[in-house]
Copies of this chain bind each other. A is one copy, B any other.
């Protein structure tokens, strides 16, 4: 069977990981082209991994007819335009989240996807592909916890990453766009409904630097969904113990918790600090397998002509939610 030939745009910290996963961890996939601004990175990847083509121009890459699929890991502001171009050029497209930075461009991306129903489009809501989240979803489908009542999602970055967060604060979309994007998607996925009301609060508790951007270092929100279920979110930047992504789904007959302790591995330490677990320190460590699994799912969809679980509309929804702090959502 022919391999699916990928071209990727964006070779930053996450992009290089995706490239590596395409090249070495996805049976049936081949990393055929890379596109980035940094020529030295392109050369390095071509040489060390045997990648055939390198580009500094996205428009050039999407004229390469050897390719089957385009993987987009560029800055968020370019996603929608690059998605449309790639689909129009005849490729399957995988884009990192978020779909876009405004509702308007998300709508344009939706149109592009609708125009090419024969092409697979998938958005990188990778947590849905983490083995633990998949297991939790399956448990719920099987009725293990009855009907969901409340979703609780924490996404708190380690304080060790605070310098970068402060530097990036001016250009970020705020705590919500950066940190809660996955939790909002997970809430919709687990609760199987959309929010009808939202109340959001927060502040600068440790780092006043965020105040000038009308942002905070920790914020939280409580939503009620149309099916009456509830969702509580905490997005923060000051976890001392590590990368704290913790999820709870409380149901009428049971509760599931995912990574209540974000343990790094199976090692428990007993020493002068007590009995303890060291924690994952970043998303690449915690979600290594999820990034691999989402690629497998994308390739499977291309092979089998099926649609991914994550649609373009899931991407738009997030931007919609971000506009709706402390208000009633328009129906």
Contacts and interface: CB of A to CB of B under 8 A. Distances in A.
Interface string A263-277: 111111111111111
A177 interface: no
Contacts of A277: 274-276
A241 B218 contact: no
A297 interface: no
Nearest to A326: B199
A326 B299 CA distance: 48
Contacts of A267: 132, 135-136, 139, 256-258
A270 B259 CA distance: 13
Interface stretch (A23-31, A35-43, A95-103): A23-31
Contacts of A222: 199, 201, 220-222, 232
Contact of A276 (B205, B224, B275): B275
B278 A274 contact: yes
A253 interface: yes
A277 B132 CA distance: 12
Q: How many copies does the complex hold?
A: 4
Interface string A210-229: 00000000101110100011
Contacts of A230: 201-202, 218, 220
Interface string A134-146: 0110010000111
A206 interface: yes
Interface string A55-73: 0000000000000000000
A147 B239 CA distance: 13
Nearest to A238: B252
By size class, the interface of chain A is: 35 or more
Contacts of A205: 147, 149, 228-229, 252
Nearest to A272: B240
A206 B242 CA distance: 33
A234 interface: yes
A150 interface: yes
A279 interface: yes
Given A241-B254, A277-B276, A278-B274, A234 B150 contact: yes
Contacts of A139: 267, 269
Contacts of A261: 275
B271 A254 contact: yes
B232 A220 contact: yes
A158 B50 CA distance: 44
A84 interface: no
A241 B266 contact: no
Given A256-B267, A256-B270, 10 more contacts: A149-B236, A149-B238, A201-B222, A202-B230, A240-B271, A257-B270, A258-B266, A258-B268, A274-B279, A275-B276
**Which 9 residue pairs of A and B lie closest in terms of their CB atoms, listed nearest first?**
A276-B276, A199-B199, A254-B271, A132-B266, A222-B222, A255-B270, A206-B252, A24-B27, A259-B266
Interface of A: 1, 23-25, 27, 50, 131-132, 135-136, 139, 144-147, 149-150, 197, 199, 201-203, 205-206, 218, 220-222, 224, 228-230, 232, 234, 236, 238-242, 244, 250, 252-279
